[in-house]
Amino acid sequence: MAFFLDFRSGSDPTPGESMEPAQEFQIPKKTIRLTDGTEYNTYYTEGALSDQSPSDYKNGIFPFRKEWIRKRLERGDTNHSQMYYAKNGIITEEMRYAAVRENMDPESVRSEIACGRAILPSNRNHPELEPMLIGRNFLVKINANIGNSALGSSIEEEVEKLHWAVKWGADTVMDLSTGKNIRETREWILRNSPVPIGTVPIYQALEKVKGKAENLNIQVFLDTLEEQAEQGVDYFTIHAGVLLRYIPWTVNRVTGIVSRGGSILAKWCLAHHKENFLYTHFDEILKVMKKYGVSFSLGDGLRPGSIADANDKAQFAELETLGELTQLAWNEDIQVMIEGPGHVPMNLIKENVDLQMKLCQEAPFYTLGPLVTDIAPGYDHITSAIGAAMIGWFGTAMLCYVTPKEHLGLPDKEDVKQGVIAYKIAAHAADLAKGHPGAIERDNLLSKARFEFRWEDQFALSLDPETAKSFHDETLPQDGMKTAHFCSMCGPHFCSMNLTHELRTFTEEKRMPETL
């Protein structure tokens, strides 16, 4: 890893104030140095966590946003949302930092946040966070889910999964713990995370009422929300769009309600025959979000869990409600992204994006895949990455990864890696398709290295250098093979690229014209 002093920054002013004297800050980037002298700087998610060993986890990583936050608290700011500052014409430290990471103008970042097309999730109590952006006009991001269950994994293992996920490129991480020690697990994760952390608060609220959904109430939920916000959670998945009148529309589905949060709230609604308390008390939820600068990830509790249920009445009715809730949040200057499906065949994917943009006023879309077929348990990181690449191309801002264990069990470290890599591929493919500035540079460098048989450079530029090198070394492990003009696929006499080199040499020697 290399650090670059990429921008000069002062404290963000209140409206009408001038900028304070600038200071230099370090932006983490990984530099790949190639054998031909070229250097390539990659977007880097691991940050301060890269230098940490498991023995340091209880100490956490450096809280480098601490001073930025302290000045706002001393100033008496009551709304700590980045949207609040953006709407008031303020380019915050976080916006400038994220702008450098994206190679974008800070004013463009402020503008996108102000109009709701992008969010910069950053709880005031998560000073360890390195600011990043989620929005369709920026790089497509990916989220990795971790978390324990009642059947396995310790706190240490979950922190190690966090470390592992960001090592391979996760832009945010959601802690979906449902087992023991939820609070302590979350505290360890937050204190060690350079990326935004999201949660689904209804899980812990359910634990507080001994797993009885019908015993939930708004006070238990608000207490849980406050507790998690106080710890520093950056965004909350809240299933406030699961309305009582929508539940009957799921009865004839092949797979019913597959969202854990959605099913919990549906059960509560039916038990009491009342409207979802997250919907009826949304104004109270807004107060907590504003106080800590937490962002909404409005949950799709009625998302389709099978291809047969895609794009049905229940799914799109909930989406319309999420659009209404988005506007209520924006009225209070609170950032919002919208969660999406799920299981959707390729021919129906674009409809999801188009309708979400229309109903939710272009708030960032955050989707789970979608999986484009249901027939491949054990390979759903592939079935979903296909849909993820497509939906990212159409405008989705963040993709929630799926691991090979999806539908089968709790993922381990290797599953996390496989899921993250699959989704880094999907996100990058989407950036290429969108024509994002600079996205093609890495492809061009790797293709050039491939044509010039610079094997070590090919490994270094790949998303997973260790695997690329190990596959090459399975058949050609000798050091001399790292400069060979062939691989074991074609051998020395049938390599098309080597033959092309020979053809070009022959053409140059004979001074043949480009067209015959």
Q: What is the pLDDT of residues 142-163, one digit of tens each?
A: 999 988 766 556 778 888 889 9
- Give residues with Cβ within 8 angstroms of 354, minimum separation 6: 394
Tell me the pLDDT tens digit for each residue of 240-259.
Answer: 999 999 999 999 999 999 99
Collapsing DSSP states into helix, strand and coil, what is residue 122?
Answer: coil
Average pLDDT over residues 103-112: 96
Is 303 annotated to bind ligand? yes
Q: Identify whether residues 454 and 360 lie together within a single domain.
A: no
User: Which of the listed residues 346, 366, 386 is the one where a domain comes to its end?
Assistant: 366
**Is 408 part of a structural domain of the chain?**
no
**Out of 238-252, 280-294, 406-420, 488-502, which region has the weakest mean confidence (pLDDT)?**
488-502
The mean per-residue pLDDT over the stretch 167-183 comes to: 89
Question: Mean pLDDT, the chain, as a whole number?
Answer: 90
Q: Are 239 and 361 in a shared domain?
A: yes
The pLDDT of residue 149: 67
- Is 300 marked as binding a ligand? yes
Whether 166 and 309 share a structural domain = yes
The structural domain count of the chain equals: 2
pLDDT band at 17 (very low <50, low <70, confident <90, very high): very low
Do residues 361 and 115 make contact, with C-beta atoms less than 8 angstroms apart? Answer: no
Residue 343 marked in a binding site: yes
Instruction: Please tell me whether 339 is known to bind a ligand.
Output: yes
Ligand-binding annotation for 174, yes or no, is yes
Beta strands (DSSP E) in 22-117 are 23-33, 39-43
Bridge partners (DSSP) of residue 343 are 371
Tokens of 313: 């009445």
> Could you say which DSSP state residue 304 is in?
-
Per-residue pLDDT, averaged over 117-124, amounts to 98
The pair phi, psi for residue 351, each rounded to 5°, is -60, -35
- Around Cβ 135, how many Cβ atoms within 10 Å? 25
Q: Kindly tell me the number of DSSP H helices and DSSP E strands found in the chain.
A: 19, 13
SS3 state of residue 473: helix
Instruction: Write down the pLDDT at residue 480.
Output: 67
Cβ-based neighbours of 82, under 8 Å, separated by 6 or more: 92, 94, 95, 113, 119, 120, 122, 293, 335
pTM: 0.92
Least confident piece of the model among 19-23, 394-398, 418-422: 19-23
Q: CB burial class (10 A; 0-12, 13-18, 19+) of residue 15?
A: exposed
Q: Is residue 423 part of a domain?
A: no
In a domain, 271, yes or no: yes
Confidence grade of residue 203 (pLDDT, cut at 50, 70, 90): very high
Is position 429 within any domain? Answer: no
The response to whether 259 counts as a known ligand-binding position is yes
Contact 216, 222 (CB under 8 A): no
512 known ligand binder: no
**Residues 232, 96: one domain?**
yes
Tell me the average pLDDT across 4-9: 48
- pLDDT-above-70 percentage for the chain: 88
Known binder of ligand: residue 206? Answer: no
- Least confident interval from 324-333, 334-343, 469-478: 469-478
Verify that 314 and 232 share a domain, yes or no: yes
| Predicted confidence (pLDDT) at residue 3 exceeds the cutoff of 70 | no
**Annotated binding residue at 53?**
no
Q: In this structure, is residue 158 part of a structural domain?
A: yes
Q: What is the mean pLDDT of residues 306-319?
A: 99
